[in-house]
Structure 1
Amino acid sequence: MPRKRHGRVRTKHTNGRAALLLSTMNPADYNVRPGEVRTIACPDCRTWRRIMGDTVLKVREHRIDTVGQGEEPTPCPGSDQLVVIDIDVRRWQARQDRLLRDAMPQENRRAAQQFYKPFPTPAAPVHRLASREPQTLVRLVRLLEQTRHAGLAHRVNCSLCRGGGRCETGRGLEIAFQEMRATCWIAREQQARARRLAIQQMREARAAQESTRRTQLLLAGQADQLRRAVPQGGRPTEGPEVPMVPLAPRQAAEQLEGDQLTCGHCGATASSLVDAVSAGWCRITRRPHCGRCAARFPAWTRTSF
Structure 2
Amino acid sequence: MAPEDYNVRPDEVKSIACPDCRTWRRIMGETVFTIREHSASDEAAVDEAHTLCPGSYQLVEVDIDIRRWQARQNRLLREAMPQDNRRAAQQHYKPLPAPAAPVSRIKAEVTLEATRQSYLAHRKGCTRCIKGQHCTDGGVLARRYVLALQKEPARRESRERLERQERRAERKRTAPAVRKAQWAERGGVAVEAANNRCANRAPGMVSTFRGPQVPVAPRDIEAHERRQAELGKQYVRRTPAV
Give the structure-1-normalised TM-score. Answer: 0.28
**TM-score (norm. length: structure 2):** 0.35
Please identify the structure whose Cα radius of gyration is greater. Answer: 2
> Higher relative contact order at CA 8 Å, sep ≥6: structure 1 or structure 2?
1
